[in-house]
């Protein structure tokens, strides 16, 4: 199981004022808030922790099939600038993040040593539906190319709990994946 999340930092700055009263209290634990307030770049730290939580949440939903909204139920720990962990109750998710001036991209893994394929890219189209379609098409082309599968037979469906499934014709493939997009950036990961 695998998850990812990308945050376009310019888009996040436009869309969210994380310094507004009580925002941090609703999303982050006291320990995470301490990381934010003590960070050299507080904006970056907010969105790093956010992307870590989102990526881990996607793995947790794949694992247990239950959605929830309680960001403080997820506790982030930084092990280095680009690695961390997220704990959700008794479950540990390993995080690898890419941090640039433009975006933060986090990947969550249930198994630390699991190999995966991941790619992020810029998409200049800001229309949500068009960008979502472009991301899915790029992902399906990658799967088709990697597996020698007919792209016309590939599609994405969702389970009852909203977990995306990869279908080849009428057969579900044993490939776990996650898709994400925000602002000008998109990313996918699969194993």
Mean pLDDT by 10 residues, the chain (191 residues): 97 93 95 97 97 98 94 96 95 97 97 92 89 96 97 96 95 97 97 95
Check whether residue 185 and residue 105 sit in a common domain: no
User: Quick one: the chain helix, strand, coil %, rounded to 5?
Assistant: 35, 35, 30
Domain end point (choices 91, 116, 141): 116
Q: Which of 43, 118, 53 is nearest to 85 (CA)?
A: 53
Check whether residue 35 and residue 91 sit in a common domain: yes
The model carries a pTM of 0.95
Check whether residue 42 and residue 80 sit in a common domain: yes
Range(s) of the domain holding residue 33: 2-116
Check whether residue 33 and residue 45 sit in a common domain: yes
Domain end point (choices 116, 131, 159): 116
Check whether residue 85 and residue 130 sit in a common domain: no
Check whether residue 127 and residue 105 sit in a common domain: no
Check whether residue 105 and residue 129 sit in a common domain: no
Check whether residue 112 and residue 124 sit in a common domain: no
Domain CATH number, residue 29: 3.90.470.20
Check whether residue 107 and residue 128 sit in a common domain: no
Region for residue 169 given its phi and psi (left: phi exceeds 0; alpha: psi -120 to 50; beta: otherwise): left
Question: Would you call 102 exposed, middle or buried from its count of C-beta atoms within 10 A (0-12, 13-18, 19+)?
Answer: middle
Check whether residue 31 and residue 49 sit in a common domain: yes
**Count of domains forming the chain:** 2
Domain end point (choices 116, 145, 165): 116
d(CA 9, CA 12): 5
DSSP string, 60-99: HHHHH------GGGEEEEESSSSEEEEEETTEEEEEEEEE
Check whether residue 147 and residue 66 sit in a common domain: no
At 113 the pLDDT is 84
- Output DSSP code: residue 153: G
Check whether residue 87 and residue 159 sit in a common domain: no
């Amino acid at each position: 199981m695998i998850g990812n999340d990308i945050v376009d930092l310019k888009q996040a700055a436009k869309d969210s004022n994380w310094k507004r009263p009580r925002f941090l209290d609703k999303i982050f634990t006291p320990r995470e808030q301490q990381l934010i307030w003590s960070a050299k770049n507080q904006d970056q730290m907010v969105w790093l922790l956010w992307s870590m939580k989102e990526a881990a949440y996607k793995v947790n939903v794949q694992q247990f099939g239950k959605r929830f909204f309680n960001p403080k139920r997820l506790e982030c720990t930084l092990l280095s600038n680009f690695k961390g962990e997220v704990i959700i109750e008794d479950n540990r998710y390993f995080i690898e993040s890419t941090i640039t001036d433009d975006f933060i991209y986090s990947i969550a893994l249930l198994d630390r040593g699991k190999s995966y394929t991941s790619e992020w890219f810029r998409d200049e189209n800001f229309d949500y539906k068009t960008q979502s379609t472009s991301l899915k098409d790029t992902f399906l082309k990658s799967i088709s190319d990697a597996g020698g599968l007919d792209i016309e037979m590939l599609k994405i469906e969702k389970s009852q709990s909203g977990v995306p499934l990869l279908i080849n014709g009428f057969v579900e493939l044993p490939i776990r994946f996650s898709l994400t997009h925000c602002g000008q950036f998109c990313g996918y990961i699969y194993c």
